[in-house]
Amino acid sequence: MVAMSYAAASFAREGAPMPIIKVELLAGRSYEQKRSLAAALTDVAVDSLGVARSSVQVHLQEMSAENVAIGGTLVAETAPRQ
């Protein structure tokens, strides 16, 4: 899940609200994958919204498979075990 919001009291130098992009994902991605995702989302926000790169925040929230259910079944019960 990806959600984007604007901090009401925070503004970039241009006077535009600071975008905050929140991503919920299952745990297990590498540091490099998370770095790449944060950079790509920042690029999209800068290009789409015309805000300064330094004003974009990306928050990654990792969830364990035992805390997520799809169709009433915990992901931990359906994911291949390593």
Task: For residue 54, give both structure tokens.
Answer: 């330094």
Catalytic residue among 18, 19, 21, 58: 19
Task: For residue 39, give both structure tokens.
Answer: 């950079």
What are all long-range contacts of 66-70, with beta carbons under 8 Å and residues at least 24 apart? Answer: 68/26
User: Does residue 19 carry a catalytic annotation?
Assistant: yes
d(CA 10, CA 69): 35
* 3-state SS class at 72: coil
**Tokens 């805000």 sit on residue:** 51
Q: Could you list the active site residues?
A: 19
